[in-house]
């Protein structure tokens, strides 16, 4: 954002009711400096040397940008995530806090904190407008229901025998929708599709206890897990999504000893 720190603080306070101090501690947006993710510096001057932290600020931002661009779930951009920097232990020697050390470390911190915060998968949603005769409306509803569509409005079109059905449908289920619709209505229905918004996919994408059957479409709370695994296979990524691979061995042992082993995946 092309604003001064003070202007940015006032903007977030007035528009989003943020705390003024927090809104002035914004370091970066990501990915690409204008994305929907945010990095905040919530460290206190009494606990950390702000001057030394400033020497690695750009490296931390680079690691944040990298992590936000290629998320740990399926190597896709993150969305609507807020990262707060609470503490940092930095070496006194500049050679040990260069970009080669800080950037990948910042990325790993973003990944591990993201996975430990109950992440969810998001998918794009189309706004769909269908026009069809009254006797075809039930067929339109059937086609939409098969593709996880949700009707928002169903009204007659003034001065014509047609009805207008407005609905929302996931983009991944919209492939071939128009052909399916015209087949079900004998070519009497016409539709328009445009991107509308992003929505959370039902289910936990990191829940390894969900059993997926081959060649059977997933539904309900298993949908997010199914989409993540299929995307990871297509990209050649492993099926396991474990936070432990982003943490040092000492931290993994400390979590296990404190009874939080369930967070490690």
pLDDT digits (tens, 9 = 90+) for 229-246: 999 999 998 888 888 888
Residue 129 banded pLDDT, cuts 50, 70, 90: very high
**pLDDT tens track for 219-229:** 888 999 999 99
Backbone phi, psi, residue 169, to 5°: -145, 135
- Residue linked to tokens 């993994």: 252
| 95 or 141: which leads in pLDDT | 141
In 3D, which of 263, 259, 230 has the Cα closest to residue 246?
263
Residue 257 banded pLDDT, cuts 50, 70, 90: confident
pLDDT at 84 over 80: yes
**CB contact at 8 A, 139 and 99:** no
Q: State mean pLDDT over 45-73.
A: 92
pTM higher than 0.85 for the full model? Answer: no
Sequence-separated (6 or more) residues with CB below 8 Å from residue 180: 143, 146, 147
pLDDT at 206 over 60: yes
* CATH architecture assigned to 122-200: 2-Layer Sandwich (3.30)
Q: Which two tokens stand for residue 102?
A: 């800080």
Residue 265 banded pLDDT, cuts 50, 70, 90: low
Q: Where are the domains of the chain?
A: 5-115, 122-200, 203-265
The answer to whether domain 5-115 and domain 122-200 are alike in fold is no
Looking at residue 96, what is its pLDDT?
A: 86
Looking at residue 208, what is its pLDDT?
A: 85
Residue 254 banded pLDDT, cuts 50, 70, 90: confident
Q: State mean pLDDT over 179-186.
A: 93
| 217 or 194: which leads in pLDDT | 194
**CB contact at 8 A, 168 and 123:** no
Looking at residue 259, what is its pLDDT?
A: 62
Residues 66-85: b if buried by 16+ CB within 10 A, e if exposed:
bbbbebbbbeebbeebebeb
pLDDT at 256 over 80: no
Q: Does domain 5-115 have CATH number 3.30.230.10?
A: yes
Looking at residue 13, what is its pLDDT?
A: 85
């Amino acid at each position: 954002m092309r604003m001064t720190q003070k202007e940015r603080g006032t903007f977030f306070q007035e528009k989003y009711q943020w705390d003024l101090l927090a809104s002035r501690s914004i370091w970066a947006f990501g990915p690409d400096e204008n994305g929907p993710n945010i990095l905040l510096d919530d460290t206190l001057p009494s606990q950390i040397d702000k001057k030394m932290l400033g020497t690695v600020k750009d490296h931390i931002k680079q690691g944040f940008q990298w992590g936000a661009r290629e998320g740990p779930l399926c190597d896709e951009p993150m969305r609507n995530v807020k990262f707060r920097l609470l503490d940092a232990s930095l070496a006194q020697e500049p050679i040990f806090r260069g970009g080669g050390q800080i950037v990948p470390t910042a990325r790993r911190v973003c990944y591990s904190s993201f996975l430990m915060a109950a992440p969810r998968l998001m998918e794009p949603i189309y706004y769909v407008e269908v026009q069809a005769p009254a006797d075809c409306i039930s067929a339109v509803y059937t086609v939409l229901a098969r593709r996880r569509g949700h009707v928002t409005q169903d009204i007659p079109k003034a001065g014509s025998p047609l009805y207008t059905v407005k609905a929302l449908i996931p983009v991944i289920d919209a492939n071939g929708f128009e052909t399916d619709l015209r087949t079900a209505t004998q070519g009497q229905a016409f539709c328009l599709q445009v991107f509308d918004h992003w929505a959370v996919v039902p289910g936990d994408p990191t829940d390894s206890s969900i059993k997926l059957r081959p060649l059977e479409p997933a539904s309900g709370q298993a949908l997010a897990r199914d989409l993540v695994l299929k995307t990871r296979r297509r990209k050649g990524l492993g099926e396991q999504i474990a936070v432990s691979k982003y943490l040092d061995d000492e931290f993994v042992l400390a979590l296990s000893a404190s009874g939080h082993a369930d967070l490690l995946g």
